[in-house]
Amino acid sequence: MPRKSSFTQSADRLYISKATIFKLFLLIGIAAISAVFVWYTFNVIDKLKEDTRSQVEKYVKMWQLAANSPTSGQELQFIFDEIIVKATFPIVVLDENRDPIHWRNIADVSMEDTTAATLAHLREVSEEMFEDHGEFPLVFGDETFSYSNYFRYGDSAVIRQLKMMPFIEIGILFAFLILAFIGFQNIRQSEERHIWVGMAKETAHQLGTPISSLMGWLEVIEADRDDAQGGCMEIDQTTVDNMRSDITRLQRVANRFGLIGSVPEMEACDLKQLIEEIVEYYCRRLPFEGKGQKLIYEAAETPPVLLNAELAGWVFENLIKNALQAVDSRDGRVTIHSSLAADSNSVRVEIADNGKGIPVAAQRKIFRPGFTTKKRGWGMGLTLVKRIVEEYHGGRIYLKRSKPGDTVFEMHLPLVENRKGS
């Protein structure tokens, strides 16, 4: 199994590092949000508990005052019914022996239920109330005779629900986080599969043209051999030159794909000369009789650019080929213009065509792996172009505009001194 290049290994480590940082950031963010939820909720609960205790103290004083005042039993019952029983929190009143004698708002317990099981349950409930909030004594009688009852209360339904809220919210957040990780993982795996399939098809596409050409030249040689009828056959030098050109192109294609997974060697290049060679290559294959496709290159003098000629050539071949495929074969025009950018820090290259244009809905997607507007495309050409320009050469490429009759891609490549200083 071939070993990964140092560039690929470092890229993998960088990707893993970024992925790990992103996951840690999410986890820390979830933890921070959860802590804020818990703190805020329990802060509100504490304030509600303070308000409840203040109300309880008032209720106890009112009950104490009413019980020890010379009022009739009917008036005492009125105070009890209108003040005490309207409390929204659980209440249990115990006698001197700590046995329940009054209770309100106890879940699943009726005020008329005085069975032994109910009283036992109320004792347990009152003990929990005592642990949480303590108790308030109720003293009845006079100087000659007095006795005490004990008032205990619990948290209201609102407070109990609030106690559960932060944990429910945290559970929802973590459930969402898990679903997000699963979704991202599936999307990533799907994109990786698509990229590998696209790369394989792009390789086959790149190799197909020179291989088909070589097969054609072999047929020419075989036909000449048959015509020679066993005699000494001389192979035309043009055929040899064309075969040599196609073999060189096969080697170039192989080199290009090999460079994708490694650190490409850069050197100062005359961008004008590089583009002229590619334009000349395509011009030899265009129909120029009468109306036909025209490929025009307009170049201004520019300083050298730090490039890998193989990869940069691949970029321009892809862009020019796409433009030629987009224009009409009878009157299509593809114009390439290169000049020094306005900021004098890079060379600006525009590739324009008068084709049918790119639909508005597709303009933001054209650089995505696997996206294509062609019926027989695989959606890897512009993806590779963007990666080569931006990741390998530190440049920038984008679709400047596109409408029927006017589509322009613009590219910026840093000058040699800027790349060396970066």
Phi, psi of 66 (to 5 degrees): -65, -40
- Helix or strand (DSSP H, E) at 103: strand 100-104
Give tens-digit pLDDT for 322-332: 898 889 888 89
Residues of the chain with pLDDT under 70: 1-19, 22, 63-87, 140-147, 187-210, 212-213, 222, 224-237, 239, 242, 249, 251-263, 285, 287-291, 370-380, 418-422
Domain count, the chain: 1
In a domain, 132, yes or no: no
pLDDT of residue 202: 61
In a domain, 357, yes or no: yes
pLDDT of residue 11: 43
In a domain, 81, yes or no: no
Kindly report the CATH number assigned to the domain that includes residue 273.
3.30.565.10
Share of the chain above pLDDT 70, in %: 67
Measure Cα distances from 340 to 275, 303, 305, 389 in Å. 15, 8, 11, 17
Residues sharing a CB contact under 8 Å with residue 142, sequence separation 6 or more, in sequence order: none
Give tens-digit pLDDT for 240-287: 776 777 777 676 666 666 666 566 788 898 999 999 988 987 887 676
pLDDT of residue 7: 39
Q: Look up the domain containing 350 and give its range.
A: 264-421
pLDDT of residue 146: 58
In a domain, 382, yes or no: yes
In a domain, 327, yes or no: yes
In a domain, 129, yes or no: no
pLDDT of residue 196: 55
In a domain, 234, yes or no: no
Residues sharing a CB contact under 8 Å with residue 382, sequence separation 6 or more, in sequence order: 318, 322, 366, 367
Measure Cα distances from 334 to 2, 153, 286, 301, 405 in Å. 42, 86, 12, 20, 11
In a domain, 277, yes or no: yes
Distance CA 340, CA 141 (A): 104
Q: Enter the pTM of the model.
A: 0.49
